[in-house]
Amino acid sequence: MAPTRLADVIVPEIFAPYVLERTADLSALYQSSIIESNEELNSIATGGGSTANMPFFQDLSGSSELLSETVPLTVNNITSARDICSIHQRGKAWGANFLAKAKSGADPMAQIADLVADWWARDMQATLIATLRGVFASATMASEQVLDLSIEAGNAATADNLISSGATLNALKKLGDATNAITAIAMHSDIYYSLLDQDVIQFDAPSEQGISLPRYKGRQVIVDDGMPKVAGTTSGFKYDTYLFGAGSINYGEATLDPMDAVETDRDSLQGDDYLVNRRRFVLHPVGVRWQGTPAGTSPSNGELAVGTNWSRVYTKKNTRLILLRTNG
């Protein structure tokens, strides 16, 4: 029997949208409503360029005035500003070793698509975490929306340096009376188990699938070991815990020509099959402007993590992001 070739089982028109849908299904951040699809960003990603302007009106300020028959009301300006998003252009090619285990299955295209979607879910989460590193390192965010309780000698940490109810409440206080906008908390599993040990994690009633979702301070808990865990200069570790509002990360995906998004090739001399998947997408923290100049066609994760490449343009209470950094 002739061997299965990628070109025989991959239909780009079906494969590309399936991978996008499965990637969203596999992302805990996407499923938690932290990441919100945005039709405008879909159009932006599909268009040309490497960045896009997103103008907005700033909040109105001042107080009301007394009405008078002789003194006219003062006319105040309605001012606008702009947010700027970067359009990510990413791709990946896989060869025979990656694909071999799926090619002989009952539905090889679905199996290969699942492998690819799982890879993209992890890769896009790494892109998001790099983005958040840069956002929280930017000047205004670092001074107003970061609570850093960590020390470099993590092994010498005391209760004041560790995750606790008080530490979390102090982080939430960063948004003042807008704290109810925070709906989810993403943390490393080390932090999660510390909170379990403190007996402060609650669980929702089981869903129809029998899954009980953890909650902390009334917020949904997302546990992921991709969350930043950085070695202290002297000892121990520093952990970043992110507090998000719903829709605080906007997402848009370009509609590419299926033949550009998904491409198969074969090295006839080596007998190897290749699969290429390309994407063009926006993954943008709402209210924090990208102002970097990437070396390539779009920013690398390293460039995304640089604080000077970001600048907050929304007010603090309208930027639903907080960072809590502890030693455990």
CATH number, domain of 23, equals: 3.90.1690
Number of domains within the chain: 1
Task: Give per-10-residue mean pLDDT for the chain (328 aa).
Answer: 55 77 74 86 90 82 88 84 92 73 60 86 92 97 98 98 98 96 96 97 75 90 93 98 96 90 76 84 97 95 98 95 98
Gap between the Cα atoms of 286 and 294, Å rounded: 20
73 lies in a domain?
no
- DSSP secondary structure string for all residues of 189-247: HHHHHHHHHTT--EEPPP-TTSPPPEEETTEEEEE-TTS-EEE-SSBSEEEEEEEEETT
Gap between the Cα atoms of 80 and 72, Å rounded: 25
pLDDT of residue 281: 96
193 lies in a domain?
yes
Residues of the domain holding 13: 6-58+80-326
pLDDT of residue 161: 98
66 lies in a domain?
no
Gap between the Cα atoms of 228 and 225, Å rounded: 8
CB-CB neighbours of 1 under 10 Å: 3
226 lies in a domain?
yes
From residue 217, give the alpha-carbon distance in Å to each of 125, 266, 296: 24, 53, 42
pLDDT of residue 1: 38
67 lies in a domain?
no
- Closest to 287 (Cα-Cα) out of 127, 135, 64, 118: 135
75 lies in a domain?
no
pLDDT of residue 164: 97
Q: Convert the pLDDT of each residue in 19-43 to its tens digit.
A: 888 777 767 777 778 999 889 999 9
